[in-house]
Amino acid sequence: MKATVVTIGDEILIGQIIDTNSAFIAKSLDKIGIDIHEVISISDSREHILETLKRLQNQVDLVILTGGLGPTKDDVTKKTLCEYFEDQLIVDEKVLAHVTELIEGFYKRPISQMNKDQALVPSKAEVLFNKVGTAPGMWLKKENTVFVSLPGVPYEMQHLIENGVVPKVIEEYKRPFIIHKTILTYGQGESLVAERIENWENNLPEFIKLAYLPSPGRVRLRMSARGTNEQLLQKAIEENTDSLSKIIGDIIVGYDENETLEVILGRLLTKNKMTISTAESCTGGKIAQLMTSIPGSSSYFKGSIVSYATEVKAEVLKVPQALIDTYSVVSREVAIEMALGVQKLLKTDYAIATTGNAGPEKGDSPAELGTVFIALATPYPAPDNIICEEFNFGQPREKVIDRTVNKAFGMLQNEILKIR
Amino acid sequence: MKATVVTIGDEILIGQIIDTNSAFIAKSLDKIGIDIHEVISISDSREHILETLKRLQNQVDLVILTGGLGPTKDDVTKKTLCEYFEDQLIVDEKVLAHVTELIEGFYKRPISQMNKDQALVPSKAEVLFNKVGTAPGMWLKKENTVFVSLPGVPYEMQHLIENGVVPKVIEEYKRPFIIHKTILTYGQGESLVAERIENWENNLPEFIKLAYLPSPGRVRLRMSARGTNEQLLQKAIEENTDSLSKIIGDIIVGYDENETLEVILGRLLTKNKMTISTAESCTGGKIAQLMTSIPGSSSYFKGSIVSYATEVKAEVLKVPQALIDTYSVVSREVAIEMALGVQKLLKTDYAIATTGNAGPEKGDSPAELGTVFIALATPYPAPDNIICEEFNFGQPREKVIDRTVNKAFGMLQNEILKIR
């Protein structure tokens, strides 16, 4: 079964927003064995929508459209669907009752004509009821293709994919199995990894496809197996994961598809019953935020002192003022004291500290733009109690912050991996 | 001039990664007056790439392809381009010298055949030299369409768009002007805003298109004017912005296209010479991270205590243990003490505190999943020195965190706006 995802809205075409809906839809459909043929973004225009519907007609089995269902004039999807299906809009009474309740009951406003129009749907559409918003989903079939139109608001779209589209597809269509397995490696580049596993890759069975997903410092390898015999696929994936581990086990750090460094670190800290805190200047709390984005992080992450102002470094983290005066806030000496300071204050095994000139302007230090010091305090006795590295990540600001976070996680990971 | 952006890579089609490249490219091209017709993601397959190149041939003037240029077997873009252009790969000596220097000089490894192959380009291609990576950009023309192939690594792609594609397009093509103006409103929903400005919207000139971009608590209105006379467009945009301000001036909070709440707050705090700090539990440092993502934020943001563990609330923020024992960490009483605690510790005018059960499991408190308390300490004497609100944001975890951040910014904004 083949599907194409179509996002309708000029805001994507002018680059004003990043399309996150498509990834969610693609992932949800992939999970149930649907092959995503294309992901497309088109403009809020009648002509462009019609042209796209015609092109996709009978090319794929399922077309998921999002966007253009709002109450305002720039939203033309519903009218255009009517035109394509030679249909007309009728009031869906259940949707109208829901919209009325939402506006009058929840928002305490009189319902307007614009609100009421949200309950209009093409008469040929099967309505996918939207419990969490005003625009319903619509399921329309023409010849060999089903067209599903969903609102573009992410949580409404997600609700309808999970509770409307996916259950209906599972019930009505036969699909093959698709199994993905991601192997996360750390510390070697894409081409070096490719050279090491060349023989292994050449011996993969036809039904397994391998993809390389490189990002700074790490490469994710993804095997995708597709076929009708789930057990066979599962077995082949397992065997090939085992044989791969024998070749590059030294750089494999995880296997979960969604596994980020913060997830891996969380697992390593939990396993070793270790705790961590951070003292963040140039990263402004981003390390803390990523660590706490993981459910269960409260068992190892105790907290952070975001010491953005120099006086917070001195007063809360107890970095000696003389050190700041002598070396400036962006220095090895200050980074080390920040890490030791927060480690002591929050009583944790490890502590990460960051201080740097993220730019675009120089701050309270004469250090070059892009200069960053990362210190890591450990539970070991001196001189192993502290590690500090200096980097220059250049510009712009966001890059400096992101690289600092990534390097800090890398330094912590290297340290914790030594325990095992 | 019309362009289509094509991203090549299965990782997008299975939803493993979110495509951020396309938004960057679209924004860069839009800025120089190029009309983005479509944004497409397709698979790493020869057939699909060929089919897409054929479809776009002469439909648009410019096709930007990203991805599929890596050294590994799953990358087929270069070979497929050769096939489409009836061409062959030749070694580009300048690129080869650069790749050699990068691998042997920077990475200190002997160069492999796989590395050397990065310097192969179709003989008909004009090479866009990639200073920051190994895969060069390629500019190929067939009939009325230029096809540009770029690497998919974001910073390499960005470098080539900014230093290769955009300057070349500006030099070689005549383009119309496109001017966007975004008006950021806060506090009223999309349909209410639409009703208030209906007359104004109906009177917009033909060449100005209006779009509504709703997100929780706010609606961005975007006018896009397109034409050949830049002055005329500019004037029309200004006049219509003025007339709009007269109608909904009470809810307009900013005008910058990229203006987020943290940018607006930064401007308001700077204008009023006020400082802020945060004490974050359930938001885990996200408010601090967003605030410090703004250049110049050090003039108003002093720092944050991310008090994830209960003992940090007690020991660093000095929340009385008795209060925690009586009301639990997720309570109005604790939120208030956290805000007052960090305000005092970091000596700031305002202080935001968050505490809640973000889920998916209940933590150190019996409060319902999704329950959040947000407290805001102000510079005013009691009882106006503190505001605290309770919310339930349901689940999942990410939604709870994001809504908490948004509400906290909203509460702060409402308070600061009272000053003017």
Is there a contact between B38 and A40 (Cβ–Cβ < 8 Å)? yes
* Distance separating alpha carbons of residues A392 and A390, to the nearest angstrom: 7
CA atoms of B350 and B340, how far apart (whole Å): 9
Q: Is B396 on the interface with A (CB under 8 A)?
A: no
Contact A23 B19 (CB under 8 A): yes
pLDDT of B106 over the 80 cut: no
How far is Cα of residue B17 from the mean position of the Cα atoms in its chain?
15
pLDDT tens string A28-47: 999 899 999 999 999 989 99
Contact between chains at A23 and B18 (C-beta distance less than 8 A): yes
What are the DSSP calls for B313-328, one per residue? HHHTS---HHHHHHH-
Q: Identify the sign of the CA torsion B406, B408, B414, B416.
A: negative
* More confident call, B291 vs B410: B291
Q: How many CB atoms lie within 10 A of CB A271?
A: 12
Ranked by mean pLDDT, the top range of A12-16, B37-41, B104-108, B209-213 is B37-41
Cβ neighbours of residue B231 closer than 8 Å, sequence gap 6 or more: none
pLDDT value, residue B360: 87
The rounded distance, in Å, linking the Cα atoms of B203 and B209 is: 11
Residue B325 CA, distance from chain mean position: 41
Q: Does residue B418 register a pLDDT over 90?
A: no
Identify the DSSP state of B117: G
Rg of chain A in Å (alpha carbons): 27
Determine, for residues B26 and A11 on separate chains, whether the beta-carbon distance falls below 8 Å: no
To test the contact with chain A by mutation, choose from B302, B308, B345 the residue with the greatest count of A C-beta atoms within 10 A, namely B308
Q: State the best of A4, A5, A12, A16 to mutate against chain B, taking most chain B CBs within 10 Å.
A: A16
Does A11 touch chain B if contact means CB atoms closer than 8 Å? yes
Are the beta carbons of B360 and A288 separated by less than 8 Å?
Answer: no
* Residue ranges per structural domain of chain A: 2-172, 177-255, 261-418
Neighbours of A181 (CB within 10 A): 20
Q: Does B19 touch chain A (CB under 8 A)?
A: yes
**Mean predicted confidence (pLDDT) in B299-316:** 96
Q: What is the CATH class of B261-418?
A: alpha beta
- Please state the rounded mean pLDDT for residues B230-240: 96
Helix (H, G, I), strand (E, B) or coil at A214: strand
Tell me the nearest-neighbour CA distance from B418 into chain A, angstroms. 24
Query: Which pLDDT belongs to residue B420?
Result: 47
Please tell me the distance from the alpha carbon of residue B145 to that of residue A157, in angstroms, as a whole number: 36
- The larger pLDDT score, comparing residue B51 to residue B16, is at B51
Partners of residue B147 on adjacent β-strands: B63, B140
By CB atoms closer than 10 A (0-12, 13-18, 19+), residue A239 is exposed
Looking at residue B110, what is its pLDDT? 86
Which H/E stretch holds residue B390? Answer: strand B386-392
Contact B191 A71 (CB under 8 A): yes
B257 shares contact with chain A (CB less than 8 Å): yes
Provide the 8-state DSSP code for B163: I
Q: Report chain A residues whose CB lies below 8 A from the CB of B286.
A: 285, 289
Q: DSSP assignment of A104-152, as one string?
A: IIIS-----HHHHGGGEEETTPEEE--TTSSSPEEEEEETTEEEEEE-S
Q: How far is A25 from chain B (nearest CA, A)?
A: 7
CB within 8 Å: B308 and A293: no
Check A284 against B289: CB less than 8 A apart: yes
Q: Three-state SS for A254?
A: strand
Least confident of A8-17, B88-97, B377-386: A8-17
**Across the interface, which of A13, A27, A303 has its CB nearest the CB of B308?**
A303
Per the prediction, chain B carries an average pLDDT of 92
By the 8 A CB rule, do A355 and A389 touch?
no
Question: What's the confidence (pLDDT) of residue B81?
Answer: 96
For residue B258, what pLDDT is reported? 65
Domains B2-172 and B177-255 share a fold: no
What residue in A sits closest to B195 (Cα-Cα)? A114
A25 touches chain B (CB under 8 A): yes
Q: Is the peptide bond before B154 cis (omega within 30 degrees of 0)?
A: no
pLDDT band at B103; cut points 50, 70, 90? confident
Write the pLDDT tens digit of every residue in B151-206: 998 889 999 999 999 999 999 998 989 898 999 887 788 888 999 999 999 999 99
Q: Do B70 and A214 touch (CB under 8 A)?
A: yes
Residue A233: phi and psi, rounded to 5, are -60, -45
CA distance A306 to chain B (A): 5
Distance from CA of B125 to the nearest CA of A (A): 24
**Closest-CA residue of chain A to B155:** A399
| Partner-chain contact A295 B361, CB within 8 Å | yes
The partner residue sitting opposite B11, judged by closest CB among A211, A308, A398, is A211
Q: How far is A387 from chain B (nearest CA, A)?
A: 23
Q: Which residue out of A21, A28, A72 would a mutagenesis test of the B interface target, given it has the greatest number of B Cβ atoms within 10 Å?
A: A72
What is the reported pLDDT for B217? 65
Is A419 exposed, middle or buried, given 0-12, 13-18 or 19+ CB atoms closer than 10 A? exposed
pLDDT of residue A258: 66
pLDDT, tens digit (0-9, with 9 covering 90-100), for B259-297? 788 998 999 899 999 999 999 999 999 999 999 999 999
A27 at B interface, C-beta within 8 A: yes
Q: Which of residues 342-371 of A touch B (CB under 8 A)?
A: 345-347, 359-361, 363-364
A346: how many CB neighbours lie within 10 A of its CB? 27
HEC sequence for A314-382: HHCCCCCHHHHHHHCCCCHHHHHHHHHHHHHHCCCCEEEEEEECCCCCCCCCCCCCCEEEEEEECCCCC
Phi, psi for residue A120 in degrees, rounded to 5? -80, 135
Locate the chain B residue with the closest alpha carbon to A296. B361
**pLDDT at residue B417 tops 90:** no
Tell me the pLDDT tens digit for each residue of B326-380. Answer: 999 999 999 999 999 999 999 999 999 999 999 888 877 888 899 999 999 999 9
pLDDT in tens, chain A (420 residues): 999 999 998 889 988 888 999 999 999 999 899 999 999 999 989 999 999 999 999 999 999 999 988 777 778 999 999 999 999 999 999 999 999 988 887 777 888 888 899 999 999 999 999 988 889 999 999 999 999 999 998 889 999 999 999 999 999 998 989 898 999 887 788 888 999 999 999 999 999 989 888 776 678 899 999 999 999 999 999 999 999 999 998 888 888 766 788 998 999 899 999 999 999 999 999 999 999 999 999 999 999 999 999 999 999 999 999 999 999 999 999 999 999 999 999 999 999 999 999 988 887 788 889 999 999 999 999 999 999 999 998 888 888 898 899 899 989 988 987 764
Spell out the CATH class of B177-255. alpha beta
Q: Mark yes or no for CB contact A303/B306 under 8 Å.
A: yes
- Given this structure, which CATH class describes domain A2-172? alpha beta
Q: Name the minimum distance, in Å, from the CA of A55 to any CA of chain B.
A: 11
CA A84 to chain centroid, in Å, comes to 35
Nearest alpha-carbon partner for B169 in B59, B34, B67, B39: B34
* Residues of B in Cβ contact (< 8 Å) with A107: 189
